[in-house]
């Protein structure tokens, strides 16, 4: 188990190096690009298999205990160690990262993104996977920062080199926002490490802030929280996200929404809640306020994009929906209660599954129609998806209702638990204030349902104002001479293989939430109790 976790983190990095080397004669095949894409599928598949073996070997009776640990001295002068481990909080995120990266590699093998060489693309995806997995596995503050920053460069190049229209400005905006936030975060991490005398996250969590004065905790939470909030992204530090998603290739959007956004909220749970509880208690009402503003703001932005005539981009709309969904995660963390934090962790996983599926589906729609413009999809395409690609339309409708929090699907439990956490926040927090936040968050769920149902009606059913033979915005309706809508390619075999696991896990987590909560709850209880089970 100790070797297995280290292998899961390091294998993608070794695979990235191998992807850039000349292929052995027997593995070149007829198409060098297909050979290196096949290499990406193989490496990510091995990493996923190793992650599943890690789950099978995990002691599920003691999920609050750090398991599969590695602890090696690295920089003795600063007491920085290569310290790895996993518990019930990080294990689901490790598996989610391995799964989404494998599905992206599989999808890319059959549908390579337009751009430079496949070698660079595969190497960047593998480096991105290694950095993300390391973020969820490391137990040293300095190592956490290095892993946290490791993902920036590969994501920058994925957007800038393989993205669509506006990719260069979007990539620069992504890097500048996250780098500026990270500089402030580094100062906060150094403050905690130097004042406490250790960078070990387990020791710091066990100490539970007793070695840090309240003023140091407040400064640390402010500094570290800014860097984490940018990556989350929290309103009003979110403006890089819609541009990045709109310009990114399909797999870039899936990985950005599915795993990279989780790094910020994971940092709040793993570092700030146990290490600086007094500082978190000071800022918790402000964090909750920003969270609920983000919930409402994201929903209103989506409603504005979804209305007829707005020329809204479907990828941009889903990006803004992430601002709202991650607002629920931040609200749960701000309650500082086991119920709220468990809801936040559940919502993290649910968002990764559902939004990852949504970006896959939107990418497929854009490939078929050549656009993600909602007015074009609902008007110029006549009967839209239900009439032209019914399976694709059905999957899009399924992902949309899962995203709006339909009971029985994964999106429901996280939002419900965060609202329950806000109903009864931790001792020392203002209950009237959190009841107000809970009410605003509940109103946000109604707005979320409104814009997603509008999207389903327009994209899947079409615009009822456009009749066969009409034109919309000067574009063809997509009807044949008999007046019937012409079909487009429905779900292909490789798409079915890439999307089915996400849909199945969305149903499983919705019907059997104990699969996740049984892992996270004991670990959260121990974390909030200062390392005491």
Cβ atoms 273, 422 nearer than 8 A:
no
DSSP string, 449-480: HHHHHHHIIIIII--TTPPTT--BTTB---B-
Q: What is the percent of the chain where pLDDT is above 90?
A: 44
Of 90, 108, 15, 4, the residue nearest 52 (C-alpha): 4
Q: Is the pTM of this model over 0.85?
A: yes
- pLDDT for 366-423, tens place per residue? 888 888 888 787 765 445 777 778 888 889 999 999 998 889 899 899 999 999 999 9
Of 367, 351, 363, the residue nearest 395 (C-alpha): 363
- pLDDT for 294-353, tens place per residue? 999 999 999 998 888 777 788 889 999 989 999 999 999 999 999 999 999 999 999 999
Angstrom distance (rounded) from CA 117 to CA 161:
10
- pLDDT for 119-138, tens place per residue? 889 999 999 999 999 999 99
Which of residues 452 and 381 earns the better pLDDT score? Answer: 452
For residue 136, the number of C-alpha atoms closer than 13 Å in the C-beta half-sphere is 30
Cα 356-362-364 angle, rounded to 5 deg? 105
Query: Helix 91-110 crosses helix 514-528 at what angle (to 10 degrees)?
Result: 130
Confidence of residue 452 (pLDDT cuts 50, 70, 90): very high
Cβ atoms 19, 122 nearer than 8 A:
yes
- pLDDT for 469-505, tens place per residue? 444 343 334 444 444 455 677 778 888 888 999 999 9
């Amino acid at each position: 188990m100790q070797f297995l976790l280290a292998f899961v983190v390091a294998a993608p990095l070794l695979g990235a190096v191998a992807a850039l080397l000349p292929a052995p004669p027997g593995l070149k095949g007829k198409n060098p690009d297909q050979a290196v894409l096949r290499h990406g599928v193989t490496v990510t598949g091995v990493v996923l298999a190793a992650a599943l073996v890690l789950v099978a070997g995990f002691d599920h009776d003691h999920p609050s205990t750090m398991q599969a640990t590695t602890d090696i001295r690295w920089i003795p002068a600063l007491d920085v160690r290569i310290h790895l481990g996993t518990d019930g909080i990080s294990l689901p995120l490790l598996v989610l990262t391995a799964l989404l990266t494998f599905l992206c590699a599989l999808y890319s093998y059959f549908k390579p993104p337009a751009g430079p060489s496949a070698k660079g693309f595969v190497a960047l995806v593998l480096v991105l996977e290694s950095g993300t997995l390391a973020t969820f596995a490391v137990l040293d503050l300095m190592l956490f920062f290095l892993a946290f920053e490791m993902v920036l460069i590969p994501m920058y190049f994925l957007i800038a080199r393989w993205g669509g229209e506006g990719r260069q400005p979007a990539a620069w905006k992504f890097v500048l926002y996250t780098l500026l936030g990270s500089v402030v975060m580094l100062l906060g991490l150094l403050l905690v490490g130097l004042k406490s005398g250790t960078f070990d996250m387990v020791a710091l969590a066990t100490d539970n802030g007793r070695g840090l004065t309240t003023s140091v905790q407040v400064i640390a939470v402010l500094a570290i929280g800014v860097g984490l909030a940018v990556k989350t992204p929290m309103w009003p530090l979110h403006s890089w996200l819609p541009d990045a998603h709109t310009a990114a290739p399909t797999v870039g959007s899936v990985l950005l929404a599915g795993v990279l956004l989780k790094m910020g909220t994971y940092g709040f749970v793993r570092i700030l809640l146990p290490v600086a509880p007094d500082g978190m208690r000071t800022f918790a009402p402000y964090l909750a306020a920003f969270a609920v503003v983000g919930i409402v703001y994201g929903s209103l932005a989506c409603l504005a994009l979804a209305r007829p005539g707005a020329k809204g981009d479907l990828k941009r709309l889903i990006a803004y929906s992430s601002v709202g969904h991650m607002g629920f995660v931040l609200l749960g963390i701000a309650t500082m209660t086991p119920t709220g934090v468990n809801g936040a962790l559940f919502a993290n996983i649910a968002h990764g599954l559902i939004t990852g599926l949504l970006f896959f589906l939107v990418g497929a729609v854009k490939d078929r129609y050549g656009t993600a413009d909602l007015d074009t999809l609902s008007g110029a395409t006549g009967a839209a998806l239900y009439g032209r690609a019914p399976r694709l339309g059905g999957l899009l409708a399924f992902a949309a209702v899962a995203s709006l929090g339909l009971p029985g699907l994964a999106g429901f439990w996280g939002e419900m638990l965060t609202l329950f956490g806000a109903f009864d926040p931790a001792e020392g927090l203002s209950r009237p204030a959190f009841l107000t936040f809970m009410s605003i968050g509940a109103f946000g769920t109604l707005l979320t349902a409104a814009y997603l149902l509008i999207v389903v009606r327009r994209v899947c059913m079409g615009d009822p104002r456009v009749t066969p033979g009409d034109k919309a915005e000067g574009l063809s309706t997509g009807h044949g001479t008999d007046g019937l809508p012409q079909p487009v390619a429905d779900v292909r075999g490789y798409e079915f293989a890439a999307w089915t696991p996400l849909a199945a896990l969305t149903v499983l987590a919705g019907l059997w939430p104990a699969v996740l909560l049984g892992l996270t709850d004991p670990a959260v209880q121990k974390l909030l109790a200062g390392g005491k089970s």
